[in-house]
Amino acid sequence: METKQYDLIIIGGGSAGLAAAIAAADHGVEKILILEKEDEAGGILLQCIHNGFGLHRFKEELTGPEYAARFASEAEKRSGIEIKVRSMVLKITAEKEVHYSSEAEGYCVVQGKAIVCATGCSERTRGAIKIPGDRPTGVMTAGLAQRYLNIDGYFVGKKVFILGSGDIGLIMARRMTLEGSKVLGVAELMPYSNGLTRNIVQCLNDFDIPLYLSHTVKKIIGKERLEKIVLAQVDEKFQFIPGTDQEFEVDTLLLSVGLIPSNPLLTEIGVQIHPKTSGPLVDENMQTSIPGIFSCGNSLHVHDLVDFVSMEGETAGIAAAQFIQGTLATSEDVIRTEPGPGVGYLLPASLHCGKDADGKENDFVLKFRVQKPFQNVSLVVKQNGQILKKVKKAFLIPAEMENLTIRQADLLEKNGILSVEVSNE
């Protein structure tokens, strides 16, 4: 079997993969291959036909497909980038071979000097959250419903309830209402919403859709198609409170109960996985535990804003270019990161002091989510227990990913433990 050689192979042509390819090409990588399983590049954005993308990056409100199209056309302008669609990657090896399959080309193996894995995330399903009851149709993830509606042009339900206040669920509440379905409510297990505030306002409040906080679905009823759900309130320990059962007659229950980075290709070859995010452990270059294999976007950790996905893709693309050109500095000294009190996870997992592509001392962008909502607090960055930086925050919510930049000059030393915590002071 012939193994075609590339400099860089990018798996997944979503926002992250496209941004990585463009950045790598602009930093001198000549032969780049993007493998995308769908009919066109663009990723999950292609089914997000609502507005609200690109506020940070382009200072204007674009729809998902518009945002994706800007990146896709940038990629097309660069002669070094080849995009193969309808090509599913089945397997990669530590030697950076990539096995993919398509109807047009059959089963192929290609090899790169570096790989960027940008395969996006998948939705948590009923099985993952264990809702008891019958197993009728009409219980589906919100993203699947979004695809049926926006890509395939089909209704999935007339009377709808939504479990989970993640952004996709909120957006679908509005979308289905506009299509003439009746959305009876959104239930959230936590005492606060898991979606962006703007989505709560624009998708629920503006349409008088009730949000039931500290509630969850207790039972699913229906032999063939969904007929009813039983909703109940939970206490602080997530136990059902007796006497709070409410029945809703619905034909559809959409689940918006979380997204998980999807990394079957990486886990199979033993790349180390972050216990909290389910994405790989990476350093400031988005490099995984296997040198030359990089990760970015929703397959690294779940993002709420595509602008940050694009930035992360660029970081990975530039680092891959440096790796290929042999200029990716990796010092022996390593700073490990650790989430402090109030912080759920903290990325990157490790940091090396080195030089960026322009030869300047590199900065570190710390990304994290808080564990629960906070008001009027400070975010404190510490190294080995000593405060490096303190930033006041009026509001912090788990639904929003936070960013903090640390410069090398801020650091006490080139190793040790760096942490971020939420402080009341």
Partner 1 sequence: MKDLIIIGAGAIGSAAARTLAQYELDILVLEKESDVGEVTSSANSAIVHSGYDPVPGSEKAAMNVRGNLLYDQMCEELDIDMRKIGSLTIATNDEEVEILRGLEERGRQNGVPVQMLNREETLALEPNLTPEVKLALLAPTAGIVNTFELSVALMENAMDNGVKLNLNEAVTGIRAIEGGYEVTTNRAVYQTRAIVNAAGLFSDEINNFVNPVKYEIQPRKGEYFVLDHFDPDFIRHTIFTVPSSKGKGILVSPTTHGNYILGPSAEFVEEKDDYSTDGETLAQVLATAKKLVPSIPMNQVIREFSGLRAVEKSGHFIIEESLPGFVNLVGIQSPGLTSCPAIAEEVVKFLSNTMEMKKKADFNPRRRPMVRLNRMTPEERAEFVKKNPKFGNIICRCEMVSEGEVLDCIHRNCGAATIRGVKRRVRPGMGKCQGGFCQPRIIKILARELGIKNEDVRMKSPGSFILMGETK
Site map 4..43 versus ligand FAD, x via CB under 6 A: -------xxxxxxx-----------------xxxx----x
- List the single partner that 224 binds among partner 1, ligand FAD, none, CB under 5 to 8 Å by kind: partner 1
Question: What tokens does 102 get?
Answer: 């398509």
Residues 201-220 binding partner 1 (CB under 8 A) are: 219
Asked whether position 101 contacts partner 1 by CB under 8 A, the answer is yes
Near ligand FAD by CB under 6 A, which window of 44-52, 156-164, 183-191, 350-358? 44-52
Q: E strands, 358-415, where?
A: 364-370, 374-383, 386-396, 402-406
* 228 and 202 Cβ atoms separated by less than 8 Å: no
CB contact burial 145-178 (16+ within 10 A = b; e otherwise): bbbbbbeeeeebbeebbbbbbbbbbbbbbbbbbe
Shortest Cβ 164–ligand FAD spacing (Å):
12
Asked whether position 151 contacts ligand FAD by CB under 6 A, the answer is no
Decide whether 178 or 394 has the Cβ nearer to partner 1: 178
Residues 6+ apart with CB under 8 A from 289: 271, 272, 280, 281
Decide whether 295 or 310 has the Cβ nearer to partner 1: 295
CA distance 65 to 139: 27
Residues 222-261 binding partner 1 (CB under 8 A) are: 223-225, 251
Near partner 1 by CB under 8 A, which window of 83-91, 184-192, 289-297, 302-310? 83-91
- List the single partner that 45 binds among partner 1, ligand FAD, none, CB under 5 to 8 Å by kind: ligand FAD
Residues 6+ apart with CB under 8 A from 141: 123, 124, 125, 254, 255, 256
Q: Among 1, 79, 95, 332, which residue sits at the site for partner 1 (rule: CB under 8 A)?
A: 1
CA distance 190 to 209: 18
Asked whether position 85 contacts partner 1 by CB under 8 A, the answer is no
Q: Among 80, 112, 120, 342, which residue sits at the site for ligand FAD (rule: CB under 6 A)?
A: 120
N-to-C CA span, the chain: 64
* 339 and 368 Cβ atoms separated by less than 8 Å: yes
Residues 131-160 binding partner 1 (CB under 8 A) are: 132-138, 140-141, 143-144, 147-149, 151-158
Residues 356-395 binding partner 1 (CB under 8 A) are: none
Asked whether position 119 contacts ligand FAD by CB under 6 A, the answer is yes
- Planar angle of CA 40, 75, 80, nearest 5 degrees: 115
Asked whether position 111 contacts partner 1 by CB under 8 A, the answer is no
CA distance 46 to 66: 8
Shortest Cβ 404–partner 1 spacing (Å):
29
Shortest Cβ 216–partner 1 spacing (Å):
11
- List the single partner that 48 binds among ligand FAD, partner 1, none, CB under 5 to 8 Å by kind: ligand FAD
Q: E strands, 324-373, where?
A: 335-339, 343-347, 350-351, 364-370
Decide whether 64 or 80 has the Cβ nearer to ligand FAD: 64
Q: Report cis status (omega within 30 of 0) of the bond before 132.
A: no
DSSP assignments along 229-286, one per residue: EEEEEB-TTSPBPTT--EEEE-SEEEE---EEE--HHHHHTT--B-TTTSSBP-BTT-
Own/partner pairs for 388-391, CB < 8 Å, 24+ apart? 388/412, 388/418, 390/423
Residues 282-321 binding ligand FAD (CB under 6 A) are: 297-298, 303-307, 309
Decide whether 12 or 342 has the Cβ nearer to ligand FAD: 12
By C-alpha distance, which of 355, 345, 361 is closest to 419? 345
Query: Which residue is associated with the tokens 């995010």?
Result: 277
Decide whether 210 or 264 has the Cβ nearer to partner 1: 264
Please give the DSSP secondary-structure letter assigned to residue 104: T
* 315 and 285 Cβ atoms separated by less than 8 Å: yes
Which residues lie near partner 1 (CB under 8 A)? 1, 37, 86, 88, 90, 99, 101-109, 122-123, 125-128, 130, 132-138, 140-141, 143-144, 147-149, 151-158, 179, 219, 223-225, 251, 262, 264
Which residues lie near ligand FAD (CB under 6 A)? 11-17, 35-38, 43-45, 48, 52-53, 88-89, 118-120, 143, 146, 167-168, 171, 297-298, 303-307, 309
